[in-house]
Chain A
Amino acid sequence: MNWLKQLFSRRRLYDDLSDEIRSHLDEKIEELIDTGLSRKEATTAARREFGNLTLTEEDSRQVWRWMFIENLFADARYGLRMLGRNPVFTIVGLLTIAIGIGANAAVFSVVNSVLLKPLNYPQAEELVSLHQTAPGAAGLADFENGLLLSPSMYFTYSEHSRTFQSLGVWTTDTASVTGLAEPEQVRVAGVSDGVLQALNVAPAAGRWLSQMDQVPRGPERVMLSYGYWQRQFGGDRTVVGRNIMIDSRPREIVGVMPQGFRFVDADFDVIVPFKFDRGKLILAGFGYHGIARLKPGVTIAEANADITRMLPMWMDSFSNGPGSNPHIYEKWKITPLIRPLKQEVIGNVSEVLWVVMGTIGLVMLIACANVTNLLLVRVESRQQELAVRAALGAGWGRMVRGLLVESVMLALLGGVLGVGLAYGGVNFLLSVGPANLPRLSEISLDARTLGFALALSVFSGLFFGLIPALKYAGPRTSLALRSAGRTSSASREQHHARNLLVVGQVAMALVLLVSAGLMIRTFQALRTVDPGYTDAPHLQVMRISIPDLLIPQADRVARTQNEILDKLSAIPGVHSAGFVSEMPMEGMDSGWDCIFAQDKTYPDDMIPPLRLYKYISPGFLHTAGTRLIAGREFTWNEVYGLQPVVMISENLAKEMWGTPAAAIGKQLHEFSAMPWHEVIGVIQDVRERGVQETSPAIIYWPPMMQYLFGGKAPETIRTVTFVIRSDRAGSETFLNEVRQAVWSVNANLPLASVRTMQGVYDKSVARTSFTLVMLGIAGAMALALGLIGIYGVISYTVSQRKREIGIRLALGAQGGDVVSMVLRQGAKLAILGVCIGVAAAFVLARLMTSLLFGVTAHDPLTFAAVVALLILVALLACYIPARRAMRVDPIVALRYE
């Protein structure tokens, strides 16, 4: 702690030094007097020989100092004093920086949490999702997830792989839990052995599900999520070993996963093991997500090669039943496309977040430009002070540093305020952010975000401090001393920097406004798309599932569903009700398969394109507002009578028979053992996967039919979405009546995903609306900052040119002339900025192509509107100072001459 002692004993050190030097001089003087000089002569001589007394003392003292730090502190103290002396400047500057840094830190914390941080699993970088594509499979291009895995693929891969530590398949589903309190629909994660092992998160209680739990006809087991465990069992550890009724089947609880554990990005309540019967598996059944952990050091390319090696083994070991050709899948050209699990989790949100981060960064640049302008004006008014300091011997570097320290201090103070704003900003982001934003629960202001805010503060401080510092701490100071009086007018060069900043601001604001404008146009385009249902706010939807242990017989299930519809229709205010296997945009697929038409021929070695299968009740189309293009709907008599009837979508009808009308009366079936079904109706195309996605070709089957799952016995779709058309949709009293109506039919049926279609729709366009809101905010901020920037510069030049304007007025210029002169100056800057901005926006807008819908990145309307808006705003910003210029009194302006 030597330096600490030094710090405190420094005063004594300095006193000793002064005493010593004085004593040195005295001794010298006395010696010189002894040689015969007068005291005065001796003193002069001694001083001369000693050298510069003050400098010597100063140099000696400096030995004890940490020069750099101490000067920095001195500069900081001085800077604080200067900031305090000019509160208006300081407050305006601080607020600008605080808002800029706050917005940036908030968005960064989202980017960091969602995109940058590793997933919440041990060694998450080894986790991959087993993604595959099948470019040869017609219709499959519609699959968002490419080709999922079939159970037979899972067995092949996990038994023969060389590159994976563990590998498994999983899906999400729902099930009803009964026997605890009210019947409840829970979210189920179905897993094979290998999934939990790959994720490698230890259970909070009990054990993992494993191979011994997936034995066909073996004991039924289940694991709970932490949340469900807390909610239903209050975190009771003795729950392990107890039974719980899931879909009317008792299952033994073997373990509980810890808090925060999620399935890739799915929240779940219970985990249920698959029980594939290996001996009965066929090649098909591509409905499972594959997940795996790579062996250490294995690359994705090696893993892809490993899967490619195993695909022929898969086709050799399984078949699609007797007489089928297992190598038919070679035509599909199945290709592994393994991706890091993180990429799977993040999905397509990364483009949105980077675009938002980029725009907010631009806002920061615009804010910095404004602060630079403020600093320039202020430094200009301090020119005399700087000149005096230079004249007193302050070095150039020292003065630049002083000014920089001042601006960095301003930025740091702004940064502190900004972090405070960021706390609010993150909450705001979470509230406007898409509810399906991945890793939402992980978003927080962490150390990395604070570091980002700090770095941003320092950099922006240097950024906006450097230009004024270099400009005015330069060596021209003697000139400044002479000319800083009131009679001088600003030199052209001084305006140059400020004009440049304004041009830059206008250009950046234009880029932001164009991107916001493109999003508005996208949203407009989305609004005009017919999603396949009408008047969404008055469509109440909910999922009801009837487990086979509760009601085994198919016709009883159909009658129960029919009965529920009758009860629902009887509720006051309900116009009609129907059900469907899933509503558009609900994010579920009931299944994909191919279809064969009687009047077409199909080559043996070809699999026809896959079509989406849906199941609808009589009355559904009318209830949802989905238009019937040709033919008619199903009737309940046809459903109960197992009549071979079917409906198809408009695009499928056109594809197969040219017109919707031509499709009526044609015969279809799924496989040869199934009787031909007659097409009785053609339904409008619906935006099944979201407004921005093309409509898939759809086959609509009745909800109960023979051969539904390949067998001859009648089967029904047991999990369906009920749709109710009512003006009371969404109200709590209405929902209570709906629940009572359902439970009056069967009290063991839970209602899940209860919402209005508007909610489903909003969620489906959440990504777009989030981008719209964020870019709108960024655009508005840019516009406001740009307005302030132009206003500031023009009004400053007007105040500088007061004398000149006064002379012009005195010489006979009209008020209008002065106004137009000032406006011209502003317009020149604005137009230059607009030109640069249009060029930049032309290039940058292409980056957001993937976020746009129904509008090109170079939409002329958007560009024209934004250009007009900016020029208008710029002129408005100039008009106020221009008016002031017009009112300059020549007498007052010239009085000082």
Chain B
Amino acid sequence: MKKSQQRDLFPGALEMMILRTLKRQPLHGYALVQHIKRTSNDLLQIEEGSLYPALQRLLKEDLVKAEWAVSSTNRRVRIYTLTPVGAKHLQREVSRFETMLEGITRVLARGES
């Protein structure tokens, strides 16, 4: 019943990837999903729908902001932009993630030897 991406990703991973993607350029929802899928070489199987609750959480915490605009394909889309707060949050999350990853890597390496 629960969101399926939680089986694949740790909590907060999706939000972090969204923020990182938006840091490069503002995007609308569909483009965001495509970008994340493409960049990860389709390694990460995310359900497209799961993007939206995550986006709402980011909106609520003022980490991104959204505006209706017309896309290059002449479609009315909602473009998400990273806010300064969001940028700071991203930085913090990334460094936390790296620390965690390093720790996990070390433990795994120790386990193999």
- Whether A and B are associated in the same complex: the answer reads yes
A residues contacting B by CB (< 8 A) are 6, 16-17, 19-21, 23-24, 26-28, 49-53, 55-57, 59-64
Interface-lining segment among B18-26, B48-56, B83-91, B98-106: B48-56
**B75 with A23: CB separation less than 8 A:** yes
> Given A23-B75, A24-B29, A28-B30, A60–B52 Cβ distance below 8 Å?
yes
Instruction: Assess whether B92 is interfacial by the CB under 8 Å rule.
Output: no
Partner of A16, one of B53, B57, B73, B78: B78
- Give complex CA distance A17, B53 in Å: 10
Q: Is the CB of A26 within 8 A of B75?
A: yes
Within 8 A of A (CB), among B54-84: 55-57, 59-60, 66, 68, 73, 75-78
A27–B53 touching, CB < 8 Å: no
Known: A60-B52, A64-B60. A51 touches B30 (CB 8 A): no
B110 on interface, CB distance cutoff 8 Å: no
Chain B minimum-CB-distance residue to A61? B56
Residue B112 CB within 8 A of the other chain: no
| Beta-carbon contact of A49 and B48 below 8 Å | yes
CA distance A24 to B75 in the complex (A): 10
Which of B4, B53, B77 contacts A23, CB < 8 Å?
B77
List 4 additional A-B contacts (Cβ < 8 Å) besides A20-B52, A23-B77, A51-B50.
Answer: A16-B66, A20-B28, A28-B30, A49-B47
Query: What CA separation (Å) do A64 and B29 show in the bound complex?
Result: 19
**Nearest B residue to A57, CB-CB:** B52
CA distance A765 to B17 in the complex (A): 83
User: A52 — which chain B residues lie within 8 A by C-beta?
Assistant: 49
Closest to A62 in B: B53
Given known A23-B75, A50-B47, A51-B49, contact A17–B30 (CB-CB < 8 A): no
Of chain B, the residue at the smallest CB distance from A20 is: B78
CB-CB under 8 A from A55, the residues of chain B are 49
Q: Which single residue of chain B is at the shortest CB-CB distance from A56?
A: B49
Instruction: From the candidates B29, B48, B55, B77, name the one contacting A51 in the complex (CB within 8 A).
Output: B48
Within 8 Å CB of B30, what residues of A? Answer: 23-24, 27-28
Q: Which residues of B contact A28 (CB under 8 A)?
A: 30, 48
Contacts of A57 in B (CB 8 A): 52
Residue B3 CB within 8 A of the other chain: yes
Which B residues are CB-close (under 8 A) to A50?
47-49
Least Cβ distance of A850 to chain B in Å?
Answer: 63
**Is B60 in contact with A51, judged by CB distance below 8 angstroms?**
no
> Size class of B's contact patch?
20 to 34
Shortest Cβ distance from B29 into A: residue = A24
A62 to B28, CA, bound (A): 21
- How far apart sit A16 and B78, CA to CA, in the bound complex (Å)? 9
Least Cβ distance of B7 to chain A in Å?
13
Contact with A along B31-51 (1 / 0, CB 8 A): 000000000000000011110
Q: Are A27 and B75 in contact (CB under 8 A)?
A: yes
Identify A17's interface contact among B48, B52, B73, B76, CB under 8 A: B52
CA gap between A50 and B30 in the complex, in Å: 10
| Chain A, residue nearest B32 (CB) | A24
The one of B29, B47, B57 in contact with A63, judged by C-beta atoms closer than 8 angstroms, is B57
Do A59 and B53 have beta carbons less than 8 Å apart?
yes
A20: chain B residues at CB < 8 Å are 28-29, 52, 77-78
Flag if A64 contacts B56 (CB, 8 Å). yes
Q: State in angstroms the CA–CA spacing of A288 and B57 once bound together.
A: 76
B47 partner residues in chain A, CB cutoff 8 A: 49-51
Closest 4 CB pairs of A and B: A56-B49, A51-B49, A51-B47, A63-B56
User: Considering only CB atoms, which chain A residue lies closest to B66 in the complex?
Assistant: A16
Cβ–Cβ < 8 Å partners of A59 in chain B: 3, 52-53
Nearest residue in B to A49 (C-beta to C-beta)? Answer: B48
Q: A61 CA to B60 CA in the complex, in Å?
A: 11
CA distance A771 to B55 in the complex (A): 68
Q: Does B53 lie within 8 Å of A63, measured CB to CB?
A: yes
- Chain B contacts of A26 at CB under 8 A? 75
Closest to A393 in B: B1
CA distance A49 to B52 in the complex (A): 14
* Chain A residue nearest to B57 in the complex (CB): A63
Decide yes or no: A51 and B4 within 8 Å by CB, A24-B29, A24-B30, A24-B48 being known contacts: yes
Chain A residues with CB below 8 A from B28, complex form: 20
Complex Cα–Cα for A41 and B27 (A): 27
Chain A residues with Cβ below 8 Å from B50 are: 51, 56
- Interface CB pairs A-B, < 8 A, 24: A6-B60, A16-B78, A19-B78, A20-B29, A20-B77, A20-B78, A21-B29, A21-B52, A23-B77, A23-B78, A24-B29, A26-B75, A27-B30, A28-B48, A50-B48, A51-B50, A53-B49, A55-B49, A59-B52, A60-B55, A60-B56, A62-B53, A63-B53, A64-B56
Q: How far is the CA of A23 from the CA of B75 in the complex (A)?
A: 8
What's the Cα separation between A24 and B76 when bound, in Å? Answer: 10
CA distance A20 to B30 in the complex (A): 9
Least CB separation from B76: chain A residue = A23
Rounded to whole angstroms, the CA-CA distance of A61 and B68 in the bound complex is 19
A residues in contact with B76, CB < 8 Å = 19, 23
Q: A24-B30, A28-B30 are contacts. A56–B78 as well, Cβ < 8 Å?
A: no
CA separation between A21 and B3, bound complex, in Å? 17
User: B73 to chain A: which residues have CB within 8 Å?
Assistant: 27
Within 8 A of A (CB), among B1-17: 3-4
